[in-house]
Amino acid sequence: MSINKLALMRYKTIDECLRNRYRKWTLEDLIEKVANTLYEQEGITSGVSRRTVQADIQIMRSDKLGYNAPIIVQEKKYYTYSDAAYSITSAPINNADVEKMKEIVGILKQFNGFSYFEEMSEMITRLENNLYRRTNEGRNCIQFENNRLLKGLEHINPLYQAILHERPLLITYKSFKAATAQENIYFPYLLKEYRNRWFLIARSKKGKLLLTMALDRIVGFQELPKEPFIAYDGIDFDRYFDDLLGVTKTEKDRPHKVILHIDKYHAPYVLTKPIHHSQEVLKENADGSIIIKIDVVLNFELERELLGFGEYIKVLAPKMLAGKIRKRLDMAREKYRPGGKDEGGPEGTN
C-alpha cells in the first residue's frame, strides 16, 4: 500500500502532535492541526473531515503501512502514544514505497551537476545509498559522518516548520551549565548545523540578543499560535555566519585578521582543505611552510580548531588569540605531569 502526498502529510502532522507530551490532544485538536498544515503547505482551504482523521489514526495503528503506532486514548478524549519514544518516522517503509523512492532518486540524479542543484549532491547520494542498502542488505557503498547517540534530531522538522511559518515557541531548555531546565517563549529564526550537531538561532521574548540553542539540550517545545511573532530585523541570516567557524557569535562580534604559520608537513593539507573560506596565503617559505590569513570572529570553535593542529601551527596574530592558545597548551601540558591538576577550560555553545 503506497502513501499519497496528502496522506503522508496528515500522518506526519498527527505524529508530531502525539509526540508532543506538553499538550493534550483531542480529536478536534488533531483535525484543526492537520487542516492548518494542509492550508499552510498546500493551500488547501477545504480543511479535513473528522472521518478522514479518524481513518488516518486507524491506519497508523494498523500494520498496513508497517507503523503499528501505539496510539491510545486517555480520559476518553485525549490522544497520545503509550510509548513516549515512538514515532512513525522510525518505522520501516514498505517495498512499494522503496520502489517509488528509487524512481524519485533517479530523476534527481539527472539534475545532479547543474549549478542550482550543487547543494543537493550529498543529499541525493545519501538517499541512493540508503535505498541501495534497503534492497541489498549488508552492503554499504559510502559512509557519511553520523553520531547515533546525538539527541534532538527529531526536533529538526517541527522547528523548521515553526521558522518557515513564523510561529513563536514555548521551549523548555536545559543548558550544560544549568541545574534545572528553564521554560521561556522564543522566536525561532534559523537552524544551523556544525560538525553533525544542530543549533537553533532564536531570540527570547524577554531579551534583545540572538541566542544559540543546541537541539540536544531542548527538553521539549510547543507552538504558541496566539502569540504574535516578532521578526529579527537588521540581520541577513544567509551571511550571518560567514565570518566565523562554528556557531558561537553575537551581533556585536566582529572578525579579526588571524595570521597563522603552518609547518611544511601540514601546509599541503591546509592548502587543499582551507580552515575558513576567507583563507589567503600571505607567504610561502623556502622550507615549505606557509603563512596564511583568515578573517574570522574569535570564538571557542576557532580555538578548538587551532588546537587540533597541535605543534604544527602557530598563531602569529592577534596577540590576544596567541596568548589564549599558549595558555591552553600550558594547561594541557600540566595535566600530563605527575600530580598535575585537572583544570576547567573555556566552554563553547551550551
Q: pLDDT tens, 124-173?
A: 676 777 666 666 655 666 666 666 667 787 888 889 889 988 999 999 99
**Residue 271 resides in a domain:** yes
pLDDT digits (tens, 9 = 90+) for 206-261: 988 899 999 999 998 999 988 999 998 878 888 889 999 999 888 889 999 999 99
Same domain, residue pair 73 and 14? yes
Read off the pLDDT band of 1 (50, 70, 90). very low
CA 301-303-309 angle, to 5 degrees, is 110
Kindly tell me if the per-residue pLDDT of 72 is higher than 90: yes
The confidence score (pLDDT) of residue 249 equals: 87
The confidence score (pLDDT) of residue 300 equals: 93
Same domain, residue pair 269 and 323? yes
Same domain, residue pair 86 and 100? no
- Single out the residue in 223, 241, 269 at which a domain terminates: 223
Same domain, residue pair 327 and 272? yes
Looking up residue 69, the CATH number of its domain turns out to be: 1.10.10
CB-count burial class (<10 Å; 0-12, 13-18, 19+) for 125 = middle
**Whole-number percent of the chain with pLDDT over 90:** 51
**Phi, psi (rounded to 5 degrees) for 212:** -110, 115
Same domain, residue pair 270 and 320? yes
Same domain, residue pair 41 and 105? no
Same domain, residue pair 35 and 51? yes
Tell me which residue has cell 607567504. 283
- Single out the residue in 165, 199, 223 at which a domain terminates: 223
C-alpha 300/C-alpha 349 separation (Å) is 8
The confidence score (pLDDT) of residue 133 equals: 64
Same domain, residue pair 262 and 285? yes
Kindly tell me if the per-residue pLDDT of 196 is higher than 50: yes
**Residue 236 resides in a domain:** no
- Out of 135-139, 335-339, 341-345, give the one with best mean pLDDT: 335-339
**Residue 276 resides in a domain:** yes
Same domain, residue pair 83 and 106? no
**Residue 341 resides in a domain:** no
**Residue 295 resides in a domain:** yes
Kindly tell me if the per-residue pLDDT of 348 is higher than 60: no
**Residue 161 resides in a domain:** yes
Distance of CA 159 to the CA centre of its chain: 10
**Residue 231 resides in a domain:** no
Looking up residue 329, the CATH number of its domain turns out to be: 3.30.70
- Single out the residue in 181, 208, 223 at which a domain terminates: 223
Cβ–Cβ under 8 Å, residues 260 and 271: no
The confidence score (pLDDT) of residue 311 equals: 92
CB-count burial class (<10 Å; 0-12, 13-18, 19+) for 198 = buried
Q: Residue 122: which domain range?
A: 95-135
Q: Work out the mean pLDDT of the chain and round it to a whole number.
A: 85
Average pLDDT (312-327) is 96
Number of other CB atoms surrounding residue 192 within 10 Å: 17
Which is nearest to 266 in space by CA: 314, 316, 313, 322? 313
Same domain, residue pair 105 and 180? no
**Residue 99 resides in a domain:** yes
For the chain, what is the domain count?
4
Looking up residue 205, the CATH number of its domain turns out to be: 2.30.30
Same domain, residue pair 79 and 103? no
Average pLDDT (267-288) is 95
Same domain, residue pair 211 and 280? no
The confidence score (pLDDT) of residue 59 equals: 92
